[in-house]
Structure 1
């Protein structure tokens, strides 16, 4: 079974090195230097369009390096019998969640003003803002991680997604008809919707 790595504009040297450690005999071809696209059964992809993938007529499996796969699932150029998977990386969820937490706390604690005042050698204490209600658009793996961390820190958390979720610590909204209510209930908005 032949495989290809299709990640337009991305250096895949490190990925190939890791794959060779796992299996020295595994030699994927790399886009665009693929000799016979019809021989490829497995495609490891990142930001790849159906236009490119439609050239691989015997494809059986697409594995996305990205969390979002909607663009692959809904593509009319990829046959429905082709299996589509995605990598779920807990480090990605934790990294994005940590970045969002830092931004929320920086806003809540007026870090920007404190930094500006430090440059002026001025100490001006402002009362902290009360904990804002945080709205998270997209309660997938990353959104759920962030929602639980915020809830554990005492924030009120609202989540919005296209499908219903059951997470005890958050108020969940779903469907276009509830979007306005979700937005009105949220002081800060974090967009974790997939770019697909």
Structure 2
């Protein structure tokens, strides 16, 4: 069986070396050296090439090298091709690290202190204990739950929102459209970790921002398309929102003159919340390949029509 990787060259070589050492029965090819296209049964990639169905007529499984699969045009794939998202423990840890960093930076007023430094001002701001600070997470899947577990150790008042109701110890959980307003009303720091679906596209909009308490801040670690960027700018400029930390944008990389890149109350990072590392992701991918060979379910299978 042949597995094709369409990833950056350094990671591709790392993947190939791991398979050569631990699973030599699986032939690994690296894009663009495809060889005979009809040999390809499995493709692992962030963004597949165009015409995938015609290019690889015997493709059986498309493995995303990311936790999400919204970048795939699923309508261009035959129904026989299974899509599997990457549940790399390294991705989880990276997201947890980033979210914790961002929450603590907002909680301890680092954006304001950095601005004061640039202005040459030495001024102490009122410190709020973590137990008096509410943090909400939108999206209570693998990533959202891991973030909440880490934040519990700081003593924050934690809230969560998801499509269907979850029960998480120490977290006030809300669900669905009916529960969104109550969830938002108590969020001083909001983290978006939702999957991107038709229902969640543009969910971070003017109406949502207005439902947050005045002075709230947001962290977008989901997808760029979750955020209506102009609505965010207006909410910040009006003073309703205090600060935003954004790791994902609709168009990446943005132009240098992009408004969010230059806004004084926005921190933008270049989509570095978490990156799949072959060393940690290899065993997850290999287990899925072995499971597929033996007709067993794979971890991270994407439900048709749901997007995750």
CA change 1:32–1:127 in 2 (3 A) is same
**Shift in Å at residue 51 of structure 1?**
4.0
CA change 1:103–1:14 in 2 (3 A) is same
Q: For the aligned residues, what is the CA RMSD?
A: 2.8
For 1:163 and 1:70, how far apart are their aligned partners in 2? 20
CA change 1:88–1:125 in 2 (3 A) is same
Partner of 2:153: 152
CA change 1:147–1:50 in 2 (3 A) is farther
Query: Would the aligned equivalents of 2:52 and 2:77 in 1 still touch at CA under 8 Å?
Result: no
| Helix, strand or coil at the partner of 1:95 | helix
Partner of 1:186: 187
**Are 1:85 and 2:60 an aligned pair?**
no
Q: Per-residue displacement from partner, 1:144-186 (whole Å, max 9, x unpaired)?
A: 1111121232112222222332212212222233323322221
Partner of 2:45: 45
CA change 1:75–1:116 in 2 (3 A) is closer
Partner of 1:33: 33
> After the TM superposition, which of the residue ranges 111-120 and 146-155 deviates more from structure 2?
111-120
**Shift in Å at residue 25 of structure 1?**
5.4
Q: Per-residue displacement from partner, 1:77-135 (whole Å, max 9, x unpaired)?
A: 32333333333222321221122112211222223444555678865332213432112
Structure 2's unaligned 5+ residue stretches are 196-222, 224-306
**Shift in Å at residue 65 of structure 1?**
1.4
**Shift in Å at residue 37 of structure 1?**
2.2
| Helix, strand or coil at the partner of 1:167 | coil
- TM-score, scaled to structure 1: 0.80
Partner of 1:62: 62
CA change 1:71–1:165 in 2 (3 A) is farther
**Shift in Å at residue 69 of structure 1?**
3.1
The 5 A counterparts of 1:121-140 are 123-131=122-130, 132-140=133-141
- TM-score, scaled to structure 2: 0.54
Structure 1's unaligned 5+ residue stretches are none
For 1:3 and 1:157, how far apart are their aligned partners in 2? 42
Aligned residues: 193
Query: Would the aligned equivalents of 2:4 and 2:28 in 1 still touch at CA under 8 Å?
Result: yes
Query: Would the aligned equivalents of 1:3 and 1:40 in 2 still touch at CA under 8 Å?
Result: yes
The 5 A counterparts of 1:170-181 are 170-181=171-182
Partner of 1:16: 16
The 5 A counterparts of 1:83-122 are 83-115=82-114
Q: Per-residue displacement from partner, 1:17-43 (whole Å, max 9, x unpaired)?
A: 222222345432223332332221111
| Helix, strand or coil at the partner of 2:4 | strand
> After the TM superposition, which of the residue ranges 53-62 and 134-143 deviates more from structure 2?
53-62
For 2:110 and 2:173, how far apart are their aligned partners in 1? 30
Query: Would the aligned equivalents of 2:166 and 2:173 in 1 still touch at CA under 8 Å?
Result: yes
